Amino acid sequence: MKTKTILEKFGDNVREIRKSKGFSQEQLSFKADLHRTYIGMIERAEKNITLSNIEKIAKALEVEISELLK
């Protein structure tokens, strides 16, 4: 089984936690002050996210950043 890249792990964690909290991508993008398409690209590991945007998403999901990196 191919090991996941850090971007894939991050994207999967964002999607999983977002869904567990009942947010749509649109709701998360509004809370995180990021564009909805950007959230989709992050979840599909199509973007190399920056640290300040990682913090925005973690705050919007109300989790520690480390939660998103497991």
Query: In the stretch 25-64, what mask flags binding to a second copy with x, by CB under 8 A?
Result: -----------------------xxxxx-xx---------
Taking CA atoms, 42 is separated from 1, 9, 12, 32, 48, in Å, by: 22, 10, 9, 13, 8
Q: At its nearest, how many Å lie between a second copy and the CB of residue 27? A: 23
- 24 part of the interface to a second copy, by CB under 8 A: no
Which of 13, 40, 14 has its CA nearest to residue 25? 40
- The DSSP output letter for 34 is S
Residues that bind a second copy (CB under 8 A): 5-7, 10, 48-52, 54-55, 65-66, 69
